[in-house]
A and B are shown apart, each in its own frame.
Chain A
Amino acid sequence: MVIKKASDVRSSEITPKGVYLRRREFLQASAVAMAAAGFGAWAGVGEAQTTRTKLKGPIKKSSFSTTEKVNLYEHVTGYNNFYEFGTGKDEPKVNARNFKTTPWTLEVEGEVAKPAKYALEDFIKPYALEERIYRMRCVEAWSMVIPWVGIPLKDVIDRVQPTGKAQFVEFLTLHDVARMPMQRTGVLDWPYIEGLRLDEARHPLALLAVGIYDEVLPPQNGAPIRLVVPWKYGFKGGKSIVKMRFVEKQPRNTWQVMQASEYGFYANVNPNVDHPRWSQARERRLPDLLATTRTQMFNGYAEVASLYSGMDLRKNY
């Protein structure tokens, strides 16, 4: 398999940024035009798709990172559950290739001292980027190891200062039918909503990711900013987040709304509680053929156990 290496020189260092951005828009527009003309399958759309941009600034290493073997970039970016861009695992990569994430506004609202709308750059600016190499366990019984880059959710929460009433945080994905084609269908209840209890959200492991492999997060992985909660099933990680809402009552997350008997609010990785269609006792570490890797409680992140002491995790699945 050929692994394309990202250029060491950022395009933005060669060309003035304004021109560079306009060039991309031009390419995307022409790609759309060509697709419309019926040449989409082979025309120059690959240009937008293969643009890989290094993240700016230093990236701290983290002691939370696992030393397990990291999955291939092609696997992490070519095998995605992102229903806004298609229900097939290979569809988001294709259908999201022209997804525009600049400008991007992120709104913080609800029970906080400082509700505000931020341009994404401003939202991220106060924090140092960190690399977090985490296991990602999908509810479908497969897992990967992904080198995320992001900012600790806890730091963000401390900054926006939730009021005493805030018990939960909701994360809302962009709802824009023109940009997310599958939102035309009723396959899920849009927008995609996820939520965490405030103390879960404040756990040092919880991350708002803006990149992978030291590069800007590709659209199919939830660009420009997404949630990563490594001790929970992957669907808890809301993608392309436009809103964080601090609330008093437990939110109803999208998959719970879809099928409450199969998907709960907590969705902690738990080998002892089976999903009706997948045994959760074991998993397939991609790209293995055999699905015989034993699944660990909390996906191996035992340090979160105290968040759930006294709770019946069979009921609160």
Chain B
Amino acid sequence: MKPIAILKAVAFAAALGPAAALVYGFYTQDLTANPGDYITDQTGWWALAFLVISLSVTPLRRLTKWNELIRLRRMLGLFSFFYATLHMLTWVVFIHFFDVKFMLADVAEKPFITVGMATFLILLALALTSNRFAVRKLGRRWQKLHRLVYIAAVGGVIHFWWQVKADITEPRRWAVGVAILLGFRLWWNWRSRVSVAVQRRREPV
């Protein structure tokens, strides 16, 4: 097996770890006095974590020039969607038990829920169009659509930030992480544009 294939298999198994830990913790009754909130918090945390990890694939690839890393990106993005789906389901089932009226009121009235739902819908759209068929069908528009992941990352951080009561230490960390990853892209684009311009100037007239 090629190193990238091994890495991918390891990453896949590791990415299931948090979900396995929740299942195990649930059966051993070890998820605090408030297992419902604990599961909501953990799945939300991992959804954001995998979103950020998937966003760090491209910078890593550029810095290490190990281009095969790109083969991890879709899987990592789908794990973000996987945890985001569980996270959203805890809200549907635990908090509202399928009561549509309460859910709509929540989305309309609570800004952090509005942002969270919007972020989930972006991830849903990206997950649905992550297969080869969609890539081929959408062509150039695919890349445009998938740039929404940047908005999803910002949305995820805002959703986290706004639901915190007083201690913003953690959402602030995520904000810094996302800022660095998005900043890297701006810097990289700027750098490549400059180097193209420099090359052009050096060309004989």
The interface residues of chain A lying within 8 Å CB-to-CB of B36 are 284, 288-291
- B112 part of interface (Cβ distance < 8 Å): yes
Q: Which of B34, B96, B109 contacts A287 (CB 8 A)?
A: B34
B190 within 8 A of A: no
| CB nearest to B90 among chain A residues | A289
Across the interface, which residues of A come within 8 angstroms of B35, CB to CB? 287, 289
**B68 near A: Cβ within 8 Å?**
no
Assess whether B184 is interfacial by the CB under 8 Å rule. Answer: no
A71-B102 in contact (CB<8A) = no
Instruction: Compute how far the CA of A47 lies from the CA of B33 in the bound complex, rounded to whole angstroms.
Output: 23
**Is A1 in the interface zone, CB < 8 Å from B?**
yes
Does residue B110 face the partner (Cβ distance < 8 Å to A)?
A: yes
Q: List the A side residues contacting B32 at CB < 8 Å.
A: 78-79, 89-90
B163 at the binding interface (Cβ < 8 Å): yes
| Interface-centre pick from B29, B34, B169 (highest chain A CB count, 10 A) | B34
Q: Known: A83-B166, A276-B110, A290-B94. Is A71-B29 also a contact (CB below 8 A)?
A: no
Q: Given that A188-B166, A276-B110, A291-B94 are known contacts, is A284 also in contact with B34, CB under 8 Å in the complex? A: yes
CA A187 – CA B167 in complex, angstroms? 6
User: B33 to A79, Cβ gap below 8 A?
Assistant: yes
- Per the CB 8 Å criterion, the residue count for chain B at the interface is 26
Nearest chain-A residue to B91 (Cβ)?
Answer: A291
CB distance from B149 to the nearest CB of A (A): 26
Residues of chain B in range 13-32 having any CB-CB distance to chain A below 8 Å:
29, 32
Interchain CB contact (< 8 A) of A89 among B34, B110, B166: B34
Residue of A nearest to B167 (CB): A87
Nearest CB in chain B: distance from A212 CB, A = 14
**In the complex, B97 has a CB within 8 A of chain A:** yes
Q: B34–A274 contact, CB under 8 A?
A: no
Q: What's the Cα separation between A76 and B33 when bound, in Å?
A: 8
Q: Is B105 part of the binding interface, using a Cβ–Cβ cutoff of 8 Å?
A: yes
Residue of A nearest to B99 (CB): A292
Chain B residues, CB < 8 A from A79: 32-34
By the criterion CB–CB under 8 Å, are B97 and A290 in contact?
Answer: yes
Chain A residue nearest in CB terms to B166: A187
Q: How long is the Cα–Cα vector from A267 to B44 in the complex, in angstroms?
A: 29
Give Cα A133 to B84, complex, Å.
39
Chain B residue with minimal CB distance to A186? B166
Contact present for B97 and A292 (CB under 8 Å): yes
Chain A 265-300 interface residues, beta-carbon cutoff 8 Å to B: 274, 276-277, 279, 281, 284, 286-292
Q: Mark contacts of A46-81 with chain B using CB atoms, 8 A cut-off: 1 yes-contact digit, 0 otherwise.
A: 000000000000000000000000011011101100
Binding site for B on A (CB under 8 A): 1, 71-72, 74-76, 78-79, 83, 87, 89-90, 140, 142, 144, 187-188, 258, 274, 276-277, 279, 281, 284, 286-292
**Interface residues in chain B, defined as those with a beta carbon under 8 Å from any beta carbon in chain A:** 29, 32-37, 39, 93-97, 102, 105-106, 109-112, 162-163, 165-167, 169
A-B pairs, 7 with minimum CB distance: A75-B33, A79-B33, A87-B167, A289-B36, A286-B33, A291-B95, A187-B167
